[in-house]
A and B are shown apart, each in its own frame.
Chain A
Amino acid sequence: QNGSTPTAQEGEGSGALTPVSVGVIPIVDVAPIYLGVEQGFFEEEGLDVTLELAQGGAAIVPAVMSGQYQFGFSNTTSLILASEQGLGITILTAGAISTGEVGADFGGVVAMPDSGIATAADLAGKTVAVNTLKNIGDTTVRAVVDQAGADPDSVTFVEMGFPDMPAAVAGGQVDAAWIVEPHLTRAIQAGAQVVSWNFAESDPDLLVGVYFTSQQRVADDPEMVAAFTAAMRKSLDYGQSNPDAIRAVLDTYTEIDPAVKEAMSLPHWAPDAEAGAIQRLADLGARYGMFDSPPDTSKLLP
């Protein structure tokens, strides 16, 4: 149960399975692929999936590009960035999408009640922690501050890992933090309150994470890509309609505290990575200084 599934030694009548490695991050977003593997969706498509855990894109993108992993999960903005730099990347399916519900999303901006921050507008002039600068976090926070009529450029952003944010907010090291589950719930349990649901508020269908592969692989091995895409779509649909199974499968690759697990919000999972959603992200990025010119995201889709 350490993140990889046992390989099927004897192909159960269906012939040999194609071994496939997928780079994933140990967060809630990727629960459907775990569930999908458990449910046998990938075997049905002739794939023997090994899930490889890594901490972030720094390792997953090069591994996919070099062919060491066939597929990977990544934050969408990072892939737009990579594509802008000339990496041949193809997005196959959506990974995690904002629930679009203000009050019940899997990411938001939190602050302590005594910080004087109650709304997005109050973030102006404050220090806000995000996990990565020039990425989806600061872009969407700027967007909501802008929407609230305050000056987005007056917000100071600091990089910090999500796990460290609850302590930093509670201890006053930062004024506020953009944070995702399960740490969002941890922060709330530690007394913080959500001041903005920046995903839902900036785009109800915000495409936070996606599954991708290299353009090379699409060209070389279209059947495998098709099989993976099909199984992945099935998994995402299954995950969306079975939240209890999702919460159960989390125990196999995370150590989230049961109390947190029950309280937290899950992302929305849908199979389609819509061109429009990707372009909206790119445009947001362009508007808030991530890119010099609006990127062309069409090359990211098959």
Chain B
Amino acid sequence: MTRAWRPILLATGLPAVLLGLWWALTAESTSFFNPPLARILAQFRQTWFTQPFGESLFVHDVLPSVARLLAGYLVALAIGVGLGVAIGSSRALRAYCEPVLEFFRAIPPPVMVPILMLFLGIGTPMRVFVIATGCLWPILLNTIEGVRGIDPVLRDTARAYRLGRRSMVRHLVVRGASPQIVTGARQALSIGIILMVISEMFTARDGLGFTVVSFQRSFAIPEMWSGVIILGLIGVLLSLVFRAVTEAVLAWYLGYRSAQRGGA
């Protein structure tokens, strides 16, 4: 009985404490930019879930943003893993690409947006692109390192049995690097949310990020905080989905790691 509750208690314990602290510390707050949590929560429903539901900010702004986020994320995942496998497998290719990739990696997305606008316009493709470029890096870097770190004995085995290029990638490289790829994908998830906001800070008309920034600019601070909370909640929700997927994809790894810790 307690066993079933344990994960839920663990998952909610610390957030409850932190929210309690936030509540207590801001209860008396008169600071304009740091309003009492009570006010923020009061604002929450009113801001995002107005009636009718179909016209609420939630449907109008949050859902399209999340759709763009997922699109950008999946594009990044595909490109990151594909490119990472290629770069991780070839020393020459790595040397060739790395400086250029590192160059682009260090450029702040806000200054990239104007250039992207020239090529991709100001609609959804540009924003998906911004999200994808941001998510790409952790996935790419982790994939490269994961591929490089594959056990040489496994690599030799695959070579000795003359696995073809495709099987090599499918059965050895991607699987072998998957623990690190998953780490990268996990990083990318939250970066994607951040870039979703950034991509909507420029040349936007709707979206969660746009709404949060508008609230900020029009000094609607409790509303802004409620938006930030939504961002966090999206993060938690996506990470739950992500964890379920991970547990399926990395079942072997988790089993492998726990096998010798008592076989349970």
Contact = CB atoms under 8 A, between A and B. Distances in A.
Direct A–B contact in complex, judged by CB atoms less than 8 Å apart: yes
B121 A62 contact: no
Interface in A207-227: none
Given A159-B202, A167-B118, 4 more contacts: A78-B217, A82-B218, A157-B205, A158-B122
A197 B88 CA distance: 57
Given A85-B218, A160-B122, A133 B117 contact: no
A158 B220 CA distance: 20
Chain B binding site: helix, strand, loop or mixed by DSSP? loop
Interface in A222-253: none
A189 B213 CA distance: 32
Contact of A163 (B114, B204, B220): B114
Contact of B32 (A86, A161, A168): A86
Interface string B184-225: 000000000000000000111100001000101111110000
A160 B218 contact: no
Contacts of A61: 219
Nearest to B203: A160
Contacts of A134: 214, 218
26 contacts: A62-B33, A78-B218, A81-B219, A82-B218, A82-B219, A84-B219, A85-B32, A85-B218, A85-B219, A86-B32, A87-B32, A129-B203, A134-B214, A157-B205, A158-B205, A159-B203, A159-B205, A160-B122, A161-B202, A164-B114, A167-B117, A167-B118, A168-B122, A171-B118, A173-B117, A173-B121
Contacts of A164: 113-114, 117, 202-203
Nearest to B216: A58
B31 to A, nearest CB: 9
B64 to A, nearest CB: 15
A158 B221 CA distance: 23
Nearest to B204: A159
Contact of B117 (A81, A84, A85, A168): A168
A47 interface: no
B236 to A, nearest CB: 27
A167 B114 CA distance: 9
Interface in A28-76: 56-58, 61-62, 65
A156 B203 CA distance: 12
A159 B210 contact: yes
Given A87-B32, A167-B114, A160 B219 contact: no
Interface string B109-141: 000011001100110000000000000000000
Contact of A58 (B117, B121, B217): B217
A132 interface: yes
Interface of B: 32-33, 113-114, 117-118, 121-122, 202-205, 210, 214, 216-221
A174 interface: yes
B26 to A, nearest CB: 16
Nearest to B114: A164
A264 to B, nearest CB: 21
Contacts of A82: 218-219
Contact of B122 (A65, A133, A173): A173
Interface string A137-174: 00000000000000000001111110110011001011
A173 B113 CA distance: 13
A65 B32 contact: yes
Nearest to A81: B218
Nearest to B205: A158
A173 B33 CA distance: 36
A78 B219 CA distance: 8
Given A163-B114, A173-B121, A133 B216 contact: no
B219 A158 contact: no
Contacts of A58: 216-217
B219 A156 contact: no
Sort A-B residue pairs by CB-CB distance and give the 6 closest, nearest first. Answer: A85-B219, A82-B219, A164-B114, A160-B203, A81-B218, A173-B122
B174 to A, nearest CB: 39
Contacts of B204: 158-159
Contacts of A174: 122
A297 to B, nearest CB: 15
A168 B219 CA distance: 28
Contacts of B121: 173
